[in-house]
Amino acid sequence: MTLLIKGGIVVTADLEHRADVLVDGETIVAVGLDLDPPAGAEIVDASGNYVMPGGIDPHTHMELLFMGTVSADDFEWGTKAALAGGTTTIVDFCIPDPGQRMPDAFRAWEEKAKKAAGDYSFHLAVTGWDEGTSADMAEIVSKGVNSFKHFMAYKGALMVDDDVLFSSFRTCAELGATPLVHAENGDVVAGLQASLLAAGITGPEGHALSRPPMVEAEAATRAIMIAEMAGCPLYVVHTSTREAHEAIARARARGLRVYGEPLIQHLLLDEERYRDPDWLKAAQCVMSPPFRAKSHQDSLWAGLSAGSLQVVATDHCSFTNEQKRMGMSDFTRIPNGTGGLQDRMRMLWTAGVATGRLTPSEFVAVTSTNAAKILNMYPRKGAIAPGADADLVIWDPAATATVSAADQVSRIEYNVFEGFECRGLPAKVYLRGGLAAEGGQPLVQRGTGRFVARKPFAATQVALKTRRSATAPKPILRGVH
Ligand code: DUC
Ligand code: ZN
Ligand code: ZN
Ligand code: ZN
């Protein structure tokens, strides 16, 4: 099947230009001005619209067993929500159950992901360390996963200490993999939680009080320094504070490959939400890190345009009202997580591009291309170029909609962006050449999605001395600039 998308403005991370896009089967075969349609081609008129690479959300949690319950959107509904919002690929966190080995967890995730309607890839979580873990990581890399997640919080559950971080980061350096960190000091969080509960603070406001900005700044800074000593890059997930952003920016200025990922929620929503007199509304916003004071948002937006923060994600981990009520009498039992997959691109366009804070190219960089480069799936994903997968969004900058849970794809009953007016929406979304969503409605069935294997980069192990030496040539290691 041949498809010619005509008359739109093609926008990539590098430029905006008027061009047609020719798709043959699942692949883009030509990009250029006034392309002639081959016989039998379907012609799609994109005039007045942008044509951009399908979105990539580098951070989701589908059907995750977490805090005593399972997140409500599975791979089917999560990826359908994603497609409806213009995101054609998600990278989900495969997190081993207690005692489970990584390769077994990987097989379990492969099974769950068979339901996916959109394309997907995995990160693997390192939740402990023994004599077999390095070999497990090597096996995971051979299966097409080049990134490993570490929780510095969730004490007594997923949290790992510095010993594990350093061991794992060194293994990542040897394997050419990138470690990711959930940067919050879990010991401090646990201590603050206990004091707040002892003082009778049991509501959602306690959630934010137990995880102040310094908790994140300390952990991000520590992880950056451990990564430098291990000789590996580092990706800091859900960067939500000015201080963590500044730590990342300082590291980058010193030449380290450190990446930061603000969430769309942290860019737009603030800690006032936890003081909502309606317990349920406040609990719906409980996620970690918590929403912050508004002053942090300016720093995150600045990081996106300056390039010191590279990607915007959702951390989509949705829980129903009933699940949120598990924490009615104790905020530490409210399952942490919100949705966002359907909203990420329209909210970022509205608050970023429509206001002039981001250019359309910067929008494409942070919603798609940078994630593809950092996670090594570029240019198959994240590009509009011959040979790339035909994951394309026809974006109508004039279309408007009001966010409402009533017409969302996600299985939960609410939306933390409820009532926001969006300007700029995905009109048509193509996944590998097939029309996968139109007008905010997913059109493809479960099982349409495919696993995106990601190879390791060249190994990044460089002795600290060599790195610091003025005479030694600096190794050209990898990726995004
Ligand atoms: N934070 C959340 O809010 N949910 C899932 C995991 C996490 O770190
Ligand atoms: Zn470039
Ligand atoms: Zn996290
Ligand atoms: Zn997460």
Residue 389, pLDDT score: 98
Take atom 7 of ligand 1 and give the residue whose Cα is closest. Answer: 288
Which ligand sits nearest to residue 65's alpha carbon?
A: 1
Beta-sheet pairing, 147-151 with 119-125: parallel
In this predicted model, what pLDDT tens digit does every residue of 254-277 receive, in sequence order? 999 999 999 999 999 999 999 999
Q: Say what the pLDDT of residue 464 is.
A: 46
Total Cβ atoms within 10 A of residue 379: 17
Q: Is the pLDDT of residue 465 over 90?
A: no
Examine the predicted complex and report whether its ipTM is higher than 0.85: yes
The reported pLDDT for the residue numbered 477 is 53
Per-residue pLDDT at 394: 98
Cβ within 8 Å of residue 390, ≥6 positions away: 3, 21, 23, 25, 26, 27, 28, 430, 432, 433
How many angstroms is it from 327 CA to the middle of ligand 4?
A: 19
Which residues on adjacent β-strands are paired with residue 249?
A: none
Give the pLDDT score at 460: 61
H-run or E-run covering 296: helix 294-306
Residue nearest to atom 1 of ligand 1 (CA): 288
Helices (H), 114-241: 133-142, 162-175, 186-198, 205-209, 213-230
- Residue 336 to residues 249, 283, 401: CA-CA distances in angstroms? 28, 9, 28
* CA dist., res. 463 & res. 138, Å (int): 21
The answer to whether residues 16 and 360 touch, using CB atoms and an 8 Å cutoff, is yes
pLDDT tens sequence across 33-48: 999 999 999 999 999 9
- 441, pLDDT greater than 50: yes
Ligand nearest to the CA of 378: 2
- Summarised one tens digit per residue, pLDDT across range 147-206 is 999 999 999 999 999 999 999 999 999 999 999 999 999 999 999 999 999 999 999 999
The protein residues having their C-beta less than 5 angstroms from ligand 4 (an ion) are 315
Please report the DSSP string for 303-347 in residue order.
HHHHTSS---B--B----HHHHGGGTT-GGGSPP----TTTHHHH
CA of 9 to the centre of ligand 1 (A): 37
The 10s digit of each residue's pLDDT in 130-143 is 999 999 999 999 99
pLDDT digits (tens, 9 = 90+) for 100-112: 999 999 999 999 9
Query: What pLDDT is attached to residue 478?
Result: 56
Sign of the C-alpha dihedral computed for residues 275, 279, 285 and 286 taken in this order = positive
Q: How much is the pTM?
A: 0.95
The CATH code belonging to domain 53-384+451-461 is 3.20.20.140
Ligand 1 interacting residues, C-beta cut-off 6 A: 61, 66, 182, 287-288, 315, 317, 336-337
The amino acid that residue 245 corresponds to is H
Residue ranges of domains in the chain: 53-384+451-461
Q: Are the CB atoms for 6 and 44 separated by under 8 Å? A: yes
Structure-token pair, residue 109 = 């995730």
* Kind plus residue range of the DSSP H or E element containing 79: helix 75-84
Q: Is the pLDDT of residue 463 over 70?
A: no
| pLDDT at position 282 over 80 | yes
Average pLDDT, integer, range 440-467: 82
Mutate to test the pocket of ligand 1, among 65, 73, 315 (most ligand atoms within 8 A of CB): 315
